[in-house]
Chain A
């Protein structure tokens, strides 16, 4: 096998060298060219160009390259040259695939080198680095190689094969990416092995498809409907697996209940001493969220479930593509009589909603707050809102006490504890 891989690498040496040179030159050459073409765009830096190459350029290069190799493997001239060797036709294909994977790995290494050293804004470089060192990137690249090669070999056309292979990878990659979203959003750790299983299964199905294609195409075995259907199924398997696993995540997410504390930015230590004694009056409520339906509830001391925001049971069957994260902020305090103050912020909103009521009678909108950098609803004798008014979290806060029917006194605090009274009128924004 090593002899065959060495042969394939030698055959494609010039093509690979060309790709490597293009990749290396993309940042130093691409940046000034783009800047010349788009003179008013300050965002174009070497890091941006490299990030673009990582997201679009390199996958496209590898897709076309594997498509070309797949087509080459089906060419009559190559068959005449190599099939008379004492190795199975499938081994020949595997050697070609292995050489492409080795070369793709080489290109990814070059990209890793570039993202680490090209100049540019830190945030773009950080995104680029995390992209090329993340497992899903390698899964996508592996599928790009396998699908591009398999489709080109099947269709005996590099361009068409690359196109269909690319479509399958894109369509499979999207739900795979959504799986990651689900995992990150809801910490469904028990399903983490599914990523690796899907990757292995998708790769295996592509290899199995290539084996069957070799039997039918090279060895001229009878093309039965069953065999052709099986080949088609295996070529589309990454797509099917990706959606199937997303469905599994959906099913797991439906039963998931998480604490609303996951939605909080932790209370800064600097203002903890300033916070009122929480032992009497309003106490924080341990809110629970069923993220799939966006239901918000808590379990009271008698163990009963109290629903504050009813869930939405309407969603697309059989799954949601994106995990829902309805709230960015979700906090509540409650007094012994059952009066509840609830603070929440939805992702699309620039303001926070403050609601008041009881679990039994429901909550009504009380006020709309412009958010600061952070916002916290604390209990005590009376509920208190702290908002971080500083730009860099250096410890300047507003403290507003509730209730005062829409208008409350707000004091400005600093870390040093000097009180400055802010204009009392509306709640600060």
Chain B
């Protein structure tokens, strides 16, 4: 068993190209036990590639990767220890839900069938239903169940709520909270709607240009981000990494300000409001 403060995930200098397209360019990332980390990045920035490397589905070109004390070696062993919810979950259409669970029980070393069936009941997923007949929401529920039923120490969630209605999304999020409540799980989430995860995140990593360009503590994002309306003289935007333009109309600008220090640098007379997480993440993404 790993020590409590030991990094569950350690990525150093990770690079990956597909042909001439460089997706990851020396990415570094660390996740300690029990941490919940959000990976924020635009489409095509390499979030899924990063997850696939952590899952030992893709070989990195350069760099080192350690997860749960193991390095990816092509054997698939890591995938037995990691819970993964892909962006587009897929199961064998000819199987029923219960057959999917039985099949996975034979392959995952720590599979807990009791937990799986309990989750099916809780999420109102019919175990007799055929996979090919499942709706998108029910498929997402099944993906969630198969990801957590083997009690993994590390969860990788790739857009887990994408395209789901509010009710299903709530089910997934409450399931996530329950898993956290069990304690000790490290969770890495890639989600466009990072705002809905804000309550459980410890930190947010901004994935940009193939690297983690910035890391923000969640507490910082909750308490030290502000929406500032300001009149800009001579049409100049204050040059500052912690200040991002949200909108502009003539000399009137709306800014997202990160950090009280940056707030102090702005001219007085601006209108200041606390910024919600969604807007904060949108501002970070839009940079």
Contact = CB atoms under 8 A, between A and B. Distances in A.
Nearest to A3: B106
A39 interface: no
Contact of A91 (B76, B88, B90): B76
Interface stretch (B6-14, B33-41, B57-65): B57-65
A303 B94 CA distance: 79
B90 A81 contact: yes
Contacts of B80: 86
Contact of A85 (B75, B79, B86, B88): B79
A220 B46 CA distance: 14
Contact of A87 (B59, B76, B91, B94): B76
Size category of the B interface is 20 to 34
Contacts of B108: 86
B220 interface: no
A80 B88 contact: yes
A277 interface: no
Given A3-B106, A219-B59, A221-B59, A84 B79 contact: yes
B226 interface: no
Interface residues of A, number: 22
B74 A89 contact: yes
B107 interface: yes
B18 interface: yes
Nearest to A14: B94
Given A215-B59, A219-B59, A84 B84 contact: yes
Given A3-B107, A220-B18, A221-B59, A81 B92 contact: yes
Nearest to B55: A84
Interface string B74-102: 11111111001010101110100000000
Contacts of A83: 57
Interface string B91-125: 11010000000011011110000000000000000
A356 B80 CA distance: 85
A86 B107 contact: yes
A7 B59 contact: no
Contact of B75 (A88, A220, A222): A88
Interface string B52-73: 0001011101000000000000
A183 to B, nearest CB: 42
Given A88-B74, A219-B58, A81 B91 contact: yes
Contacts of A3: 103, 106-107
Contacts, number: 58
B77 to A, nearest CB: 7
A219 B56 CA distance: 8
B58 A87 contact: no
Contacts of B104: 85
B234 to A, nearest CB: 50
A222 B15 CA distance: 12
A11 interface: yes
B61 A84 contact: no
B74 A80 contact: no
A313 interface: no
Interface in A212-238: 215, 218-222
Contacts of B94: 10-11
A11 B104 CA distance: 16
A215 B84 contact: no
A319 interface: no
Contact of B76 (A77, A86, A221, A222): A86
Given A87-B107, A88-B74, A219-B59, A7 B92 contact: yes
Nearest to B104: A85
A215 B103 CA distance: 25
A88 B86 contact: no
A137 to B, nearest CB: 33
B51 to A, nearest CB: 10
A11 B94 CA distance: 8
A91 B77 CA distance: 12
7 contacts: A3-B103, A85-B76, A85-B79, A86-B108, A219-B59, A220-B18, A221-B59
Interface of A: 3, 7, 10-11, 77, 80-81, 83-91, 215, 218-222
Given A77-B90, A215-B74, 19 more contacts: A3-B103, A3-B106, A10-B94, A11-B92, A80-B86, A80-B88, A80-B90, A81-B91, A81-B92, A83-B57, A84-B79, A84-B86, A86-B77, A86-B108, A87-B76, A87-B79, A215-B59, A219-B74, A222-B61
